[in-house]
A and B are shown apart, each in its own frame.
Chain A
Amino acid sequence: MNTLAFLASLLPAVGAAVTFAGGRDLRHVKFWSTVPVGAAFVLALLVALDHGTGGTTTRTYSLGTAGGFHVEIGTRVSGLAALTAVLVTAVALCVQAYSTSYLGGEPRYASYAALISLFTAAMLTVVYAADLVVLLVGWEIMGVCSYFLIGHYWEKPEARGASIKAFLMTKTGDVPFLFGIISLGVQAKSFQVNAVLAAAESDTLHHPAWIASLLLCGVLGKSAQFPLHSWLPDAMAGPTPISALIHAATMVAAGIYLVALLYPVFVLAPDVLVAMAVIAAITMCGAALCALAQTDVKKILAYSTVSQLAYMLGGMAVGARSQAMYLLLVHGAFKALLFLAAGVVIHRVGSNELSAMGGLRFRMPITYGSMTIGLLALAGIPPFSGFFGKEGVLGAAYDASGEFAAPGKIVLIFGLLTAGVTAAYSLRLWLGMFHGPFPDAPHEHEARVEAPQTELVPLMLLAIPAAALGLVVLFGSSFSQAIGGWYGEAGATAASLWPSGITTLLSLLFVAGFGGLTFLTWRRDEQADPAVALLGPARVVLLNGFYFDELIDRGLVRPARAAARLVAFLDANVLDAYVRGSGVGARGLGTMLRRLQTGSVQFYLTCLFLGVVIMAAVYAYVGTVS
């Protein structure tokens, strides 16, 4: 089983290598980009089925020592890893299949497909890692892949900017994360995940709050949470399938996965859990409000991802590890679906703007159907998967007691509010794209017809889990048992995902209230954007993401640039002046000495004679003295 898991993470990497090495022929590229990922999906499924419920199996091979520490390559299959890997490979396979026609005609398709495969391999490395150092390697490869993929259209300045921004912001979190990993490994005396977890469970870690907050920084960067969130909406400059991959399966999921993996470490630090809850509350509410104001379809979905990830982080903060992971899985399914469906619409319409769309429900029935399922799941309408994910987190926040009571209150209040706003922006997106009048803006794609099969089949496949993953709650606590209970170990208390009582009622009330308000606003004027009437003057602020980027620009970017200019000035005019001065000084001295070089032989001889006389005098003087 561990061998299968290892193969699953190796195959996409091999596919990436082959595509990189010789991918010029389009059919060859398509084969090597989809088949290894498909095989990895099958292997991940086999691993998950074979693993069953509970327990972990680890098999490692020594890779070498690093300063007294042993680094081991290998796989650690737990219920958490097995299920996450299935999600990752399933979404990656859908994205690769979708990309064959979506980007198949583009000149840089080969490198794009190879990077997606590499991205998948890196995520699988993180998921199956048995060693924190190996996990870190996968973590960083993902960072590089996201940089390249976001900057896929590097001709466009905003894509270049977005890729650099994504890289810098995630790296800002990754530096403390690295220190967190190191201190974790040093204190547990091993980088093995099992050893680290054992050390955390036996409470032998010193300063767990420091370690947890350092790790949290990396999670905030990767999962795009509050201070480091703004790279994700900008990352929309990349191709749409990439957004589906980053938002659903790889990159952002890695942060939440890491919290779930090292959950015992976080539980040791209640203060960090409160900080996590506050960050999650700010992010989920702020991002949902931003999503309500955006006019770019992809940015709406991006802010929605940020908001949903904050839900998961909030779930982690209140001790609802199982519920948060469940939300991660269902969110992966429906968010990939939403992005791929939005990509279809964007390709046919030729614009990202919501105002350029409308009335598409008859022209693109399959896209319409699948997108509707995805949005219903996102908004948390009862029979769909997203409802149960959201309810699980809210229910756990309501029931939270002991050290989780304080974060529980924060998450509950903001979570209910966010549930309402989520319903509002989902409804606005749905109405704006598929309903209402057909905008008569002139554009090049006159024929708005349904997309090719390769793009629709992934949509239909993803619609199934988006709609039906809610069935998992029928099995009560078995999902929770499979991923290791609330604490991440076999036999730990398992949580039931069944929605309970009062929070469900409240959140449905919020959903109905906000959704109804949006619908009524839309009904008054079907051509106008409901956000304009709903948000009023706050809309411009939200459209710009609370001017957070402006703040970063004022607070960090401009001072950094000014410092860079100062350094350049000092370098050019002070440091280099010394260097140039040594050269000029030597030449000046040489010029002075050169005045003695008159060319007159007799003058030279005179100097020679004087020198001899002086030497003789000195010699005579020294002789008399001594």
Chain B
Amino acid sequence: MHAVYPLVLGALLFAIGLYGVLARRSAIAVLMAIELLLNAVTLNLVSFGAILRDQYGMGQIFTLFIITIAAAETGLGLAIVLLLYRQRATADLGEQRELAEPVERFDADELLFSGETRGRGAAS
């Protein structure tokens, strides 16, 4: 089999996953898209392990690691989503904006001398 097929498949999977992570609003969908990203990476690892004739099987070992970590990550992620839903009654990521600080109004008048900060050196 030509090596380009698994690599193209991995790239497609990664692109779909990336789109899901960046564009989907639902937290569950985003979690699923993250799984797609991880699977794209594992596919690449396995393919490159085969293409490069890796005699230690590092690609496959890493793949096993990633599958394990992905399972744990999904568990944690789902727990967070559940808590989010319980508290806010929504899992829409587009509405979670508490991290933003309100933008301060910027005034050019601050450049000018204001009487209250007049120093002691000023002549009376």
Contacts and interface: CB of A to CB of B under 8 A. Distances in A.
A605 B113 contact: no
A577 B113 contact: yes
A584 B112 CA distance: 11
Contact of B121 (A571, A594, A601, A606): A571
B113 A572 contact: yes
A600 B94 CA distance: 6
A588 B100 contact: no
B106 A600 contact: no
Nearest to A595: B103
Given A598-B97, A602-B23, A580 B110 contact: yes
Contacts of A599: 96-100
Contact of B103 (A564, A568, A591): A591
Nearest to B21: A605
Contacts, number: 65
Interface string B36-48: 0000000000000
Contact of B100 (A561, A584, A597): A597
Contacts of B112: 573, 577
A606 B30 CA distance: 13
A605 B100 contact: no
B50 to A, nearest CB: 25
A576 interface: yes
A600 B113 contact: no
Contacts of B110: 580, 584
Nearest to B104: A591
Interface string A596-616: 011111100110010000000
A606 B119 contact: no
Contacts of B111: 577, 580-581, 584
Interface of A: 561, 564-565, 567-568, 571-573, 576-577, 580-581, 584, 587-588, 591, 594-595, 597-602, 605-606, 609
A598 B94 CA distance: 10
Interface residues of B, number: 26
Contacts of B108: 584
A601 B93 contact: yes
Closest 8 CB pairs of A and B: A599-B100, A599-B97, A568-B122, A599-B99, A564-B123, A573-B113, A565-B123, A584-B110
A602 B119 contact: no
Nearest to A601: B93
A597 B99 CA distance: 8
A568 B119 CA distance: 9
B18 interface: yes
Main secondary structure, interface of B, reads loop
B103 A571 contact: no
B4 interface: no
B118 interface: yes
Given A580-B111, A584-B111, A600-B94, 5 more contacts: A577-B113, A584-B108, A591-B103, A602-B30, A605-B21
A571 B101 contact: no
Interface in B80-100: 93-94, 96-100
Nearest to A560: B123
Contacts of A571: 119, 121-122
A564 B124 CA distance: 10
Nearest to A584: B110
Given A577-B111, A584-B111, A591-B103, A600 B93 contact: yes
A529 to B, nearest CB: 39
5 contacts: A561-B123, A565-B123, A598-B97, A599-B100, A600-B96
B22 interface: yes
Contact of A572 (B96, B100, B122): B122
Contacts of B18: 609
Contacts of B96: 599-601
Contacts of B93: 600-602
A605 B22 contact: yes
A606 B21 CA distance: 9
Nearest to B109: A584
Nearest to B25: A602
A606 B122 CA distance: 53
Nearest to B105: A591
Nearest to A585: B111
A561 B112 CA distance: 24
B105 to A, nearest CB: 8
Given A577-B112, A599-B96, A591 B22 contact: no
Nearest to A576: B113
A568 B21 contact: no
A600 B93 CA distance: 7
B7 to A, nearest CB: 17
Contacts of B98: 599
A609 B22 contact: yes
Most central of B21, B101, B113, B118 by chain A CB within 10 Å? B113
B89 to A, nearest CB: 19
Given A572-B113, A599-B98, A587 B106 contact: yes
Contacts of B94: 600, 602
A594 B101 contact: yes
Given A571-B121, A598-B100, A606 B22 contact: yes
A567 B123 CA distance: 9
B121 A568 contact: yes
Most central of A584, A591, A598, A601 by chain B CB within 10 Å? A601
B119 to A, nearest CB: 7
Given A564-B123, A599-B98, A594 B113 contact: no
Contacts of B121: 568, 571
B117 to A, nearest CB: 8
